[in-house]
A = this chain, B = another copy of it.
């Protein structure tokens, strides 16, 4: 199984398709981001990489707050739109008919229709080149009541969206369960 070198590039799977929310000039704005990951558990933190000129970044730096909204597969159209259009020229919230709500941080707008919302406070920003890595403390997590099974949230009801490239730029859903974690590996012990 020979390996082919692609050169230095951002080539990795899977990637999420999140909507990052910020108030910019006192208006709720949302941009699409695939470059995000959990950064710490105690305290809970998440990172998101944002290009310098992005309108959303302006709002994050203004208020030092932002949100990470996990869309469902039903929201691919809105997610794609928020990745194509800049909030500097368009009220994306209005076009997408997002119902916006705020939590305790007051300035991190969240999308009611997205099944999961993380309300974040900026802890660090790191200028890495083309992108600023924004690292936020997760201050609160909101999950839609309709995505619970009994007392717990259920990923099968959240139905999160993924972003993949190669052979084409597409949004995908979660696939079948392959194995149980903390279990299948015990066979090798």
Residues of B within 8 A of A138 (CB): 8-10
Residues of B within 8 A of A80 (CB): 179, 181-186
Q: Is A135 an interface residue (CB 8 A)?
A: yes
Number of copies: 2
Identify A170's interface contact among B128, B149, B177, CB under 8 A. Answer: B177
- A163 CA / B46 CA spacing, docked (Å): 16
Q: Is the CB of A170 within 8 A of B179?
A: yes
- A113 CA / B77 CA spacing, docked (Å): 36
Q: Is A62 an interface residue (CB 8 A)?
A: no
Identify A174's interface contact among B3, B14, B130, B181, CB under 8 A. Answer: B14
A interface residues (Cβ-Cβ under 8 A, vs B) = 1-16, 18, 34-49, 68, 70, 73, 76-85, 95-96, 101, 112-113, 116-118, 123-124, 126, 128-131, 133, 135, 137-146, 148-149, 152-156, 158, 160-189
